[in-house]
Amino acid sequence: MCGIAGAIGAITPAAIKTVQKMSTLQAHRGPDGAGFWQSEPQSGLGSMLAHRRLAIIDLSPTANQPMLDSSTGNAIVFNGEIYNYASLRQELKNQGASFKTDSDTEVILVAYRIWGRDFVNRLRGIFALAIWDNSRNITVCARDQLGVKPLYYVQSKFTDSQHFIFASELRALLHSGFVQRKLNAKSVSSYIWNGFVTGPDTIIEGIQLLPAGCILEVDVKGEIISLEKYWTLPSCSKHSNDVEPLKTALYESAKLQQVSDVPVGVFLSGGIDSSAVANMAAITNENPIQTFNIAFDESEFDESIYAKHVATELGAIHHEIRLTENDFGSDIDNALNSLDQPTFDGINTYFVSKAVREAGITVALAGTGGDELFGGYKSFSDIPLAAAWSKRFGFLPDPVLRSAGKIATRLKYPQFGEVPPQQRWGKLGDVLRARGDFFGTYQTSYGLFTADYHGLLLASEDHNLAYGVNPLLAEEIKSSISGMSQMEAISAFELSMFLGQRLLRDTDSASMAVSLEVRVPLLDHVVVEEAFKLSPRRRFDPLGKKKLLRELATPNIDPAHFERKKSGFVIPIEIWSKSSLKSVIEETFKDQELTRSVGLNQDAILNLYHAFQAGTPGIYWSRIWAIFVLLHWCRHNKVGL
């Protein structure tokens, strides 16, 4: 796990210095080594690659990057882990290849030499990489199937020459000198809708995120030659009820993702998903696993007792780390500054990652993906119902639907003051106006604000978004669910939006801020493919229970542990926002110049904040926190419209 950076175009002292600066800015991603390489200039043009190393597989200096293929002159920088590298290595040896290291990096480099662009279809892991192809004078970039590892890029004029510049983190590009410190107004609107920015755009104008499962080629002049999808979520016309292939993939993933030359731990909340990963890890490991849980003084947020019970059953070496309000407050600046893009959710991962890293662990397994794959969220039951009702009333004009929604909200909450509820009942009119559009219903239901208040929060609103999403991304997601059942479609939405656009990006930046690699066995692309082959009934029924995952991955754990109300890992920000964090949030919201520079309406923000402090129904902490994080991020990184 590492940080990569590079520039393709004119090789000049200024460009080299800038690439090295971007690498230094990502030192937290790779404290174990740093490297730089440049190709032989072709008419002054070529590739400049830099790497920061977090050593996990083959800790020797021979595995350092950038790594060269002496037989071809190709070079690679790579961030991630290839879990099936050992079997690929043997396959390549059988075809006559030889190796100088025991690293997965060299396996990729040799695989590219022998298999060409098809190498990416053989990789089972998490990765973002760039390969300089010396014979073709091009650079090949690729990102893993689900988008666990990020790759940001920009095409920019630098010293009067065109360059293609890339890095593992947006902030490295932002501070490189290649990019203007200018917010993307469309992305600000997307953020206010979602609480995160949806790709391929980013919060910064001009910087793009390479989509998950994509391969991109850039010529020596820094021009993009091609950008293609090599992997998409599967859509099966003929389903099966045979769960054995999925079971095999799950345990294989759990075993492969424990391959490491450094200590590995498991995040354990005590819920189904993390318990499934911990159990499979314990079964496939000869030694006791180490598990980690965050505990809170606030009892309504504390699930440490459940984690402890599961760990005891597994015979794990369990670590309980208590996070107090004082601990949170003393480290909040570091947590917020770890966010590569603004997001209302990333600091959860920062605090648990920091605690695990301080315990001497370099790699941690997380239970991410279970809800999305096996129907754990309420969206699986709520969205079809909401879409059906909105389709039924779809013949009515917008003003009627809007009025009906307002009347229903007023009946539910007779006295809500200046700010109407910004949740389910408050959004009824918006949901009805989706007219049965499945993606529109999903996005409306899980947006932070009603369409009306979203408009009030923004100083100007003319950004041509489709329910808070870039129209191209919206059409791509809609196209991907063609032929899917409703349950499969919601799973695809959750994997593409909640995970792909938010949670995985948050996890990467927050965990790498403390030099911790987080692996996600349930999101192995082979596991995902096998899950989508199953009939929806076998995979999802009964909704919300994740029965199939429990059947396959936790058969030896007392089911009583899971018979409780579902709750995710949530820091008590709602409580702390009204106590220790109150002054810093108020100060930020009252900064008129800051809110103006970000393109927000300060009056709407303050009205929302006062409604939250007053306990107005339907004004959740996440709405306040999302705006605070955006403003804090923009002030810290000195950006504006």
pLDDT value of residue 273 = 96
User: For residues 50 and 89, is the Cβ–Cβ distance under 8 A?
Assistant: no
Listed in sequence order, the residues at least 6 apart from 257 whose beta carbon sits closer than 8 Å to its beta carbon are 81, 83, 365, 519, 521, 524
Is residue 384 pLDDT above 80, yes or no?
yes
d(CA 201, CA 217) in angstroms, rounded, equals: 19
pLDDT value of residue 69 = 95
**Phi, psi (5° rounding) for residue 225?**
-90, -45
d(CA 308, CA 315) in angstroms, rounded, equals: 10
pLDDT tens-digit readout, 461-493: 767 898 999 998 999 999 999 889 999 999 999
Helical (H) or strand (E) element with 49: strand 45-53
End-to-end CA distance of the chain: 34
More confident residue, 400 or 521: 521
pLDDT value of residue 492 = 96
Structure tokens at 258: 């424990």
* Residue listed under structure tokens 């927000």: 600
Which residue from 117, 109, 76 is spatially nearest to 215, judged by alpha carbons?
117
Q: In this structure, what DSSP letter does residue 341 have? A: S
Helical (H) or strand (E) element with 508: helix 504-512
Using the CB atoms, write b or e for 523-553: b if 16+ within 10 Å. bbbbbbbbbbbbbbeebbeebebbbbbbebb
Composition of the chain by helix, strand, coil, percent to 5:
45, 20, 35
Which residues does residue 155 pair with via DSSP β-bridges, in sequence order?
164
**Residue 313: Cβ-neighbour burial (10 angstroms; 0-12, 13-18, 19+):** middle
pLDDT tens-digit readout, 150-171: 999 999 866 667 899 999 999 9
pLDDT tens-digit readout, 124-159: 999 999 999 999 999 999 999 999 999 999 998 666
Mean pLDDT of 259-287: 94
User: For residues 375 and 485, is the Cβ–Cβ distance under 8 A?
Assistant: no
d(CA 619, CA 637) in angstroms, rounded, equals: 28
Mean pLDDT score of the chain, rounded to an integer? 92
CA distances to 279, 349, 519 from 367, rounded to whole Å, are: 11, 12, 9
Listed in sequence order, the residues at least 6 apart from 477 whose beta carbon sits closer than 8 Å to its beta carbon are 439, 469, 492, 493, 496, 497
d(CA 625, CA 156) in angstroms, rounded, equals: 34
Listed in sequence order, the residues at least 6 apart from 217 whose beta carbon sits closer than 8 Å to its beta carbon are 138, 139, 140, 141, 224, 225, 226, 227
CA distances to 270, 349, 505 from 572, rounded to whole Å, are: 18, 14, 22
pLDDT tens-digit readout, 580-625: 889 999 999 999 999 999 999 999 999 999 999 988 888 889 999 9
Is residue 545 pLDDT above 70, yes or no?
yes
Structure tokens at 143: 């990102």
d(CA 102, CA 62) in angstroms, rounded, equals: 9
Structure tokens at 211: 């989509």
Structure tokens at 298: 């606030």
Q: In this structure, what DSSP letter does residue 503 have? A: I
% the chain with pLDDT above 70: 97
Which residue from 492, 491, 488, 448 is spatially nearest to 468, judged by alpha carbons?
448
pLDDT tens-digit readout, 409-434: 777 777 777 788 888 778 888 898 89
Mutual angle of helices 379-392 and 438-446, in 10-degree steps = 120
**Residue 295: Cβ-neighbour burial (10 angstroms; 0-12, 13-18, 19+):** middle
**Phi, psi (5° rounding) for residue 137?**
55, 45
Ramachandran category for residue 206: left, alpha or beta (phi over 0 → left; psi -120 to 50 → alpha) = left
* Residue listed under structure tokens 């959710």: 345
Listed in sequence order, the residues at least 6 apart from 256 whose beta carbon sits closer than 8 Å to its beta carbon are 83, 84, 124, 524
CA distances to 121, 268, 289, 608, 636 from 281, rounded to whole Å, are: 26, 12, 7, 45, 40
CA distances to 216, 275, 309, 353 from 557, rounded to whole Å, are: 44, 9, 10, 26
Please report how many Cα atoms fall inside a 13 Å half-sphere around the Cα of residue 185, on the Cβ side.
12
Mutual angle of helices 621-636 and 325-337, in 10-degree steps = 50
pLDDT tens-digit readout, 13-55: 989 999 999 999 999 999 999 999 999 998 899 999 999 999 9
Helical (H) or strand (E) element with 588: helix 582-589
pLDDT value of residue 321 = 85
Distance of alpha carbon 546 from the chain centroid: 22
d(CA 318, CA 340) in angstroms, rounded, equals: 31
pTM: 0.95
Listed in sequence order, the residues at least 6 apart from 555 whose beta carbon sits closer than 8 Å to its beta carbon are none
Catalytic status, residue 2 = yes
Beta-sheet pairing, 517-519 with 363-365: parallel
Mapping DSSP to helix (H, G, I), strand (E, B) and coil, where does residue 16 land?
Answer: helix
pLDDT value of residue 158 = 61
Mean pLDDT of 500-507: 95
d(CA 344, CA 491) in angstroms, rounded, equals: 22
